[in-house]
Structure 1
């Protein structure tokens, strides 16, 4: 069941984006209503799914015996990527350009770093059952993303908006595809639960409680 979560993100994001705009910047389609309403809803739900996927991936890698700082960094980067998508959805470039660009940075640049971290984790943990093709596929898809990100900025600065839009769409769809690869990893998750652990009382509090009971008796 959990394997459907990445697939839902890929289908929801891809179909939603293509319904709103074709061959223009993804951010442009979020500037004017009614497209901006659909664009915002697509990204907000997508951000929610990214949060869940990032948390599941973090717990999965930790359960595989890799409670390392790199895994924790991956969780933080994934949450920042989700935050960036939500910022892009709610702060249109026609109204709050600086805030919108900050969200773009979190969604794209931090998202690229997130998948580089996941590619590195794929080389450190090799669980049984998970397809051996996932790690190389994740690395091959992540490798050109920095160049793609730089191309978007360069082409946009040169005034080549159509070419820059194509690069931005390529970057967006590649990120969706990378999230979709988690379906192979999550295919082996039977259940997921969040437990609340009560903090043990300090020795000083226990001693104080014992003294109170002694005086009362």
Structure 2
């Protein structure tokens, strides 16, 4: 799954949470942390080959967004899951504890990654980095459970306040899932 797919998942999740009545500021916080994680994934993926030579700062910024902000994104999702028990909870009852375990493991690996990087154990630090990336993609994959109740998605484009007046009916695009 690429960065574009992660960004789409964050956008669909934003609209799903909005429809469930999640507060506007909290939902936007979740959306932006998810989009920054997707951006970081894209940056790391595009600059991985040149990392050793001249793109190390770019790689480190992308890694921060992908790993640290990505972990924050899933902790926010988990907080919302536990706090808002009135929200629909699709899937088996073990999905929540699984997410808790994966988020905890990501956090532990991040601490280990930073410590190992500060010591001369760069290979072990890189192994932690790849393990975190794999766990984050697994957490993104678990959204399939949350999206299992979606039959289709409708995208409605509406002009902003500075654009021309709206057409007689909003333009909609049906996307079968």
Shared topology, TM-score over 0.5?
A: yes
Match of 1:170 in 2: 131
Match of 2:32 in 1: 76
Q: Give 3-state SS (helix, strand or coil) of 2:155's partner.
A: coil
Q: Name the TM-score, length of structure 2 as normaliser.
A: 0.80
Partners of 2:55 and 2:77 lie apart in 1 by: 32
Q: Which of residues 18, 25, 40 in structure 2 aligns to 1:62?
A: 18
Partners of 1:169 and 1:69 lie apart in 2 by: 32
Partners of 1:90 and 1:128 lie apart in 2 by: 36
Q: Which of residues 27, 30, 43 in structure 2 aligns to 1:87?
A: 43
Q: Which of residues 53, 61, 68 in structure 2 aligns to 1:109?
A: 68
Partners of 1:106 and 1:50 lie apart in 2 by: 13
Q: Which stretch has the larger CA shift, 119-128 or 167-176?
A: 119-128
Match of 1:28 in 2: none
Partners of 2:161 and 2:32 lie apart in 1 by: 27
Q: Which runs of 4+ in 1 moved over 4 A?
A: none
- Offset of 1:136 from its aligned partner? 2.2
Matched, 1:179 2:140: yes
Match of 2:170 in 1: none
Matched, 1:97 2:56: yes
Match of 2:109 in 1: 148
Question: Which runs of no fewer than 5 residues in structure 2 stay unpaired?
Answer: 163-177
Higher RCO structure, 1 or 2 (CA under 8 Å, sep 6+):
1
Q: Name the TM-score, length of structure 1 as normaliser.
A: 0.66
Match of 1:121 in 2: 80
| CA contact 1:149–1:171 (8 Å) conserved in 2 | yes
- Offset of 1:150 from its aligned partner? 1.9
**Matched length:** 157
Bigger radius of gyration among the two: 1
Q: Which stretch has the larger CA shift, 56-65 or 120-129?
A: 120-129
| CA contact 1:58–1:74 (8 Å) conserved in 2 | yes
Q: Which has the higher strand share?
A: 2
Question: Which runs of no fewer than 5 residues in structure 1 stay unpaired?
Answer: 1-8, 10-45, 202-217
| CA contact 1:70–1:121 (8 Å) conserved in 2 | no
- Offset of 1:196 from its aligned partner? 1.6
Q: Which has the higher helix share?
A: 1
